[in-house]
Amino acid sequence: MREQDVLVVGAGPTGLMAASQLARWGVRVRVVDAAVNPSSGSRGKGLQPRTLEILDGLGVSGRLIATGRFRLPIRRHAADGTHQDVDPHPGVEPTPDSPYARTLVIPQWRVEETLRELLSGHGVEVEWGTEVVGLAQSPEGVSVELADGSRIAASYVIGCDGGSSAVRELLGVSFLGKTDEDVRMLLGDVVLDGLDRDHWHMFLGATGRMLALCPLPATDTFQFQAPLLPGDPVEPSLDAFQAVVDEAVGTGRVRLRGASWLSRWRLNVRMVDRYRVGRVFLAGDAAHVHSPAGGQGMNTGIQDAANLGWKLAHVLAGADPALLDSYEAERLPVAAGVLGLSSRLLRVPIGSRGEAGKETLQLGLSYRGGPLAPVAFEGEVAGGPAVGSVAGAAAGPVAGDRAPDAPCVTVTGRPVRLFDLLRGPHWTLLGFDVRPEQPAGPVRVVGIGTDVLDNGGHAARAYTASVGELVLIRPDGYLAIRTSSAAAVADYLSKLGVDRLDSLGD
């Protein structure tokens, strides 16, 4: 029986993200999936700006952007042959503090492929055709039984095995919510003739059925989406998809030449009431499923994994085990909010979503008031309290908020972004017009004004920082505290046991 620090069950975006996070921290991780091969379907086809920031921390956002597309106007075709082009995110543009302002259109299989390559670079390969059929926990770890009768011993297990999660079922965790058989959809990746690839095409058929055909960047395919109506064939087929196209577009105008993936989908809106049972955690679709409206599913799962990965790595290296309790406390409310948002957007056209559309970008997600970002964190400090979410805070981001980017330069004049400095398996301590003292633990210290220069004032504006202020940023890119006291930083890290850790990972 091979022993591992962590067994990840499921090799979709969530599981691959979790494993990549753990591997870069030096954790022994193994990834298994019951499927025989990777999925070939586009499924989720968009990475939101906040997810791209998280992936930037792994060094893969540039690779993904090279095969994706930020600007893809929606072309709404009318029955009389006219059309209207709509910007899905009108007025949204990159800024110095938010370089990824728009959704990146990219098929889910491409995201998975990129993360598998990243994971392979750490010496970890997905074990396909490996089904989990049993779990047994003890105070020391988890024994996982596989379908072939073998077992894996691990300190912790993360169930990332989708909406029909075997791990969730074995834990006996309820999947609360509903299945709506009246809301069903045909989905597929098709090759076609008759449409340009510079627009996301939408048609309204004579029956009132909406057909969407979205070109998938750096491929020859379009993602096909259309509601399933009474009387439609039960099994998806290219002929059935062609019939929908003919009804919506007109016979002979658009011809489907082939398909790499055809599927049916029905609306499930469900989530768990707990993300953890002992040494086993749930993440991604194993913990929450919802409407595809707003492109939230893959993104929420990736961010679940980013939240949990560094915490597990820290605890395995000797940090306070109570740190793991913050995973559910921070992520469960996010999932509940996403379920509500995606349900509200289900019947609202893209381009007409207003503020709700901005919410889908996920840049406003925050852990304010949570266990790692209390309303006012006060340690035993000299020189004033550490600032949490409200008390004494400046006008900029506060504890629990995402850390903004900013273009700076090194003292030798080389351009550098704050995101470049956050990248890597470590905490980051920014000092504004001061070089902070080096705290104990895996913390990178950066003096803005000493190590890097904020010539354009972008960092000062993004953080609304005062002279001498210290900003501690978590490994997942969220603020921990703001303070003028080095003692407050040390106290925060000590409370989590981070000061007991040596330098970890790569």
What digits encode the pLDDT tens for the residues 396-447?
A: 899 999 999 999 999 999 999 999 999 989 999 999 999 999 999 999 999 9
Number of H helices, E strands in the chain: 12, 25
97-101, 231-235, 355-359: range with highest mean pLDDT? 97-101
* Distance of alpha carbon 384 from alpha carbon 391, whole angstroms: 12
* Distance of alpha carbon 400 from alpha carbon 240, whole angstroms: 48
**Structure-derived torsion over alpha carbons of residues 40, 160, 236, 223, reported in degrees to the nearest 10:** -50
* pLDDT tens sequence across 23-41: 999 999 999 999 999 999 9
Residue 183 confidence (pLDDT) above 50: yes
* Distance of alpha carbon 15 from alpha carbon 22, whole angstroms: 11
52-61, 227-236, 284-293: range with highest mean pLDDT? 52-61
Please report, for residues 153, 159, 170, the alpha-carbon distance to residue 133 in angstroms, rounded to integers and kept in the order given: 14, 12, 8
Instruction: Give the torsion sign (CA, 29, 34, 36, 41).
Output: negative
CA angle 396, 397, 401 (to 5 degrees): 170
Predicted confidence at residue 178, as pLDDT, reads 79
pTM to 2 decimal places? 0.93
Strand segments, DSSP code E, in 90-227 are 104-105, 126-128, 132-138, 141-146, 151-159, 175-193, 200-204, 210-215, 222-227
DSSP one-letter string for 88-108: SSTT---BTTBS--SPEE--H
How remote is the C-alpha of 16 from its chain's centroid?
11
Given pLDDT bands bounded at 50, 70 and 90, which one contains residue 354?
Answer: low
Predicted confidence at residue 390, as pLDDT, reads 35
Give the pLDDT mean for 217-238.
89
